[in-house]
Amino acid sequence: MTTNTLSNVLVTTDWVAQHATDAGVRVVEVDVDTTAYDQGHVPGAAGWNWTTQLCDTVVRDIVPAKKLEELLGKSGIDNKTTIVLYGDNNNWFAAWAFWQLKIYGHDDVRIMDGGRKKWLAEGRDLSTDAPSFPSTRYQAGAPDLSLRAFLPEVQAAVAGKKASLVDVRSPQEFTGEILAPPGLPETCQRGGHIPGAKSIPWGKNCNEDGTFKSFDDLKALYAAQGISGDQPVIAYCRIGERSSLTWFVMKHLLGFRNVKNYDGSWTEWGNLVGAAVEKP
């Protein structure tokens, strides 16, 4: 990882070990498995629950601005804090939090490369204490919807082919052989993918240790499917978290300018009456 683009948004586990409790830095764990934080986390890290704290729990939507302001305030984060996110599953929901923080305009957000997996594998310190932080006042910015795709835009992309669609789910989900990742609840009525979407599974972004692949490898991965950043790209998965990781890669590691995450994803498209579905 040698480019400026990468160094601005990624930190290593070594860096976190040295700076996790520095003034002006807040490390936050966000996991798919919301109990993982309690099984030991980076000492001094806050823990956010994506199912209750990073979404609107009434309407299906991202976290409302006021709720985010309260969460960040309770986490001792102000608008100038360097937020370092990490989590399980190679940072799926860390990327989800990153995407939402960027929507609301937080300037300095980073991801710990390798996430929880690498931290554990390296035998680094873990704490089961839930730290408390002095409350701060946080002011969210107006939502930047250039980072987010809604259904009409995806439908227009399918019809007009003016944006590339990237399906980041597993090949078996893409073909419709399964409706959800093995072991997880099925949450859609139909299998397959959005017509015209390219299959680039999210896992191809990462090395075995959970770190992101090099700039050159990532560039080649997307170029092989005709995704070079020259035209708008919309990434989707099942509920929008895996695709937020791919969004992070394309937007912040590769520097593509026009990339959106379609968080409605397959749980929206695959449940729509009359929506076209491509198989395999």
Partner 1 sequence: MKPEEYTRRQQELSGWPITIETYKLGDVYHCTIANVDPGARFARADGTTREEAEARAIEKATRYLAQTRKFEV
Listed in sequence order, the residues at least 6 apart from 221 whose beta carbon sits closer than 8 Å to its beta carbon are 200, 204, 205, 213
Least Å from the CB of residue 7 to partner 1? 26
Least Å from the CB of residue 24 to partner 1? 26
Q: Please identify, among the stretches 44-52, 132-140, 180-188, 263-271, the one whose residues bind partner 1 according to the rule CB under 8 A.
A: 180-188
261 binds partner 1 per the rule CB under 8 A: no
Least Å from the CB of residue 83 to partner 1? 23
| Cis-peptide, bond into residue 181, ω within 30° of zero | no
Does 55 qualify as catalytic in the annotation?
A: no
Q: What DSSP string describes the chain? A: --SHHHHTTEE-HHHHHHHTTSTTEEEEEE-SSTTGGGG-B-TT-EEE-TTTTSEETTTTEEPPHHHHHHHHHHTT--TT-EEEEE-HHHHHHHHHHHHHHHHTT-S-EEEETTHHHHHHHTT---B------------PPPP-GGGB--HHHHHHHHHH--SEEEE-S-HHHHHTS-SSSTTS----S--SB-TT-EE--GGGGB-TTSPBPPHHHHHHHHHTTT--SSS-EEEE-SSSHHHHHHHHIIIIIS--SSEEE-TTHHHHHTT-TT---B--
Q: Which of 55, 188, 206, 237 is catalytic?
A: 237
Q: Please identify, among the stretches 124-132, 137-145, 149-157, 254-262, the one whose residues bind partner 1 according to the rule CB under 8 A.
A: 124-132
Least Å from the CB of residue 257 to partner 1? 27
Q: Please identify, among the stretches 10-18, 66-74, 118-126, 144-152, the one whose residues bind partner 1 according to the rule CB under 8 A.
A: 118-126
Among 175, 187, 214, 258, binds partner 1 (CB under 8 A): 175
124 binds partner 1 per the rule CB under 8 A: yes
Determine the Cα–Cα distance for residues 40 and 163; give it in Å rounded to an integer.
42
95 binds partner 1 per the rule CB under 8 A: no
176 binds partner 1 per the rule CB under 8 A: yes
121 binds partner 1 per the rule CB under 8 A: yes
183 binds partner 1 per the rule CB under 8 A: yes
**Count of beta carbons in the 10 Å neighbourhood of residue 176:** 16
265 binds partner 1 per the rule CB under 8 A: no
Residues numbered 19-58 forming contacts with partner 1, rule: CB under 8 A: 31-33, 35-36, 39-40
139 binds partner 1 per the rule CB under 8 A: no
Determine the Cα–Cα distance for residues 115 and 37; give it in Å rounded to an integer.
12
Least Å from the CB of residue 274 to partner 1? 20
Q: Please identify, among the stretches 2-10, 17-25, 88-96, 258-266, the one whose residues bind partner 1 according to the rule CB under 8 A.
A: 88-96
Chain residues in the site for partner 1 (CB under 8 A): 31-33, 35-36, 39-40, 88-90, 92, 117, 120-121, 123-128, 169-173, 175-186, 191, 201-203, 242, 279-280
Catalytic residues: 237
